[in-house]
Structure 1
Amino acid sequence: MRSPALRHVLTHLITPLLMCIGMGLAYMGAFVTPEPHHLPVAVVGSAPQAKVFAQTVKDTAGEKLDVRTVATRDDAVGLLKSRTVTGAYVPSAKAPELLVASAASDMGATAVEKVFTPVAAKEGVPLKVTDVAEPVTDDPTGQGLFFLLIALSIGSYASVAALGAAGAALPMRVRALLTLGVSAVVGGIGTLLAGPVFHLAHHDLAGVWGMAWLYSAGILFIGVGLHTFLKRWTTLTMMVLFVMLNFTSSGGLFRPELQNGFFGTLHAFWNGAGFVEGARSLLYFGDDGLSRNVWTLVVWLLAGLVVTGMAALYERPRPARHAPGHTGPATATESAATPAVAPAERKAARAAGEKTEEEVEEEVEETVGV
């Protein structure tokens, strides 16, 4: 095997190996050891006994729980439906009750139940668990929205290969219009999956499509813009941004209170969390918190438009640097600005650094095959 060929293979192996390391660190760091971390819970009652009980729970749990007291059961239900708390315990000598909202997080509801079941057991009475916001029967764990997020993400960042690499010969304005169209199609596919196919969403499909479009468009515009600058490293960058950091911080499997501080912090502003929490708000919680999550998606879309705009400026043809009578090889910019080139000029453009058709196809295959 010739040395240049070996170097070519080894260079292409860098990306999958870095993906292996990154995916292992991200997924195992976020999902392997979920533990409560300032998990918000409430104790119902205004009597001094309730406050003493709440303080006892807090002292026993330490930093695992953030415990507050609320006066009535209705107040506790309100906090659960606004996702301010993960669970609420109603003390009783005969029939203690735990309120949860599993549509917000099935894992969070399970974690709270594990905390308060032993408390009721000490009183020698069974614990009644009441779910005030259950997911639809077609999605009993409430995790279907997380897998919908994965489908939308893959459809979006894989499309960057076609729009960024195979579409490199097209003007940026054309690629931008294609990006709008592709993101609308990806959002439509996601809506069909969420609605008629798997019945995750029984209402507000138009709203689901709108958020899916915003989410997809943000990823696509960022990817198409970055491709101008990063070339073959765009794939790795997109994987870091929209898989490694995105899926792990989305809250689709574990709410941030069950993760370490890094992923919990990302949950506050990352686009995957904006989509998942926004869809939950729309489908289960009466639009509570929806506007904030939509604005998160809008900000990511605006960031994508800025990156794409910068790429368009970077790709603008520059004045030729050669004298009028110069007959040497054309620069890459000059060659890209020429609609059709003769074979000799094509060879000169290749020497100046332009991609051949084979190289473009190879980059597309590499990205889509991830």
Structure 2
Amino acid sequence: MNFGSCAAAVLTGLVWTGNAVAEPKITLLEFEQLSGWAEDDPSEALAAFSVTCGDMRRQDWQSLCAIAKEADDARSFFELFFKPVLIEDDEPALFTGYFEPELPGSRSPDARFRYPLYAVPSDMPEGPWLTRQEIDEGALAGQGLEIAWLEDPVDLFFLQVQGSGRVRLSDGSMLRVGYGGFNGHLYSSIGAELVARGIYEWHQVSADVIRSWVARNPDEGQALLWTNPSYVFFREVSEVPAELGPLGAMNRSITTLRTVAVDPAFVPLGAPVWIEKAGETPMNRLMIAQDTGSAIKGAQRADIFFGTGREAGRQAGRIRDPGRMVVLMPIQRAYAMLPDVLGADGLDGLADG
């Protein structure tokens, strides 16, 4: 697979990152330069795009959204109205995967279900607050914040990493939860911590490996989880039908293998994104940037949604691959990213879609 570019234009633009102005490399491409474009069926991506495009604020996106909902030829729609744009910073491309866990749980604690799933505290301040360890040791106990109770602290940890999931209650009913907020502490990878300690190599690390190691080493395992001070709170979203995916960052259901989480400082939420993922299971397909995450930072950083349940989790956990990600921008917006026309409005427009 060729991740190089013989682009029509290679330019240096500016992207607002929230704290400072970065200088990514902007490369305008043709569809013929997207590896595997002719083989992918973009109709599923068009359907996913139509779910969230109505929430994109800018007029050009709104106009394309109206056309998308009437389009009967997905490939022609994307090729006619979009321009592929490669946005690169100093970091190499990295693809990972995520999923929606489905876990056993209870509305009340007992000997089996002992680990609380918390709602957002009403008095939580902005900025760093209680750490994961402080919360696990009972800082929020007795405040009525418990949505449900789980049986495994590692399951709870990974539910927080994924940001949404389903809890299967003992009466057979299903409770769906989504991201509600977090404690303001930066995310720290426990997989990276195991690698740093020399316990595993990167290619050995997966959710199942981490779960097994914590089970074999309960005291050290608990301390390992605490090396990530970030803590996610949830909210009930059971109004989302079971046949639909969980809610993403745009507060709309996301689509298995057609939704990708990105850094919205570089990629507008809702935009079509072409991915060329390398590794043992290469993947060339059109996705929609409908989600984000605290660990997804950088112009070429992407997290692929693999669906719901344990098998989806196994597939997602195996992914840590290089490749290339190309954003499909409305044509005029793509050319407006050129440095000679990229003014303050251009900076703002790229970041928020």
TM-score bin, normalised by smaller chain = under 0.3
- The structure whose residues are more often helix, as a share, is 1
Higher relative contact order (CA 8 A, sep 6+): 2
Structure showing greater Rg: 1
* TM-score, with length taken from structure 2: 0.22
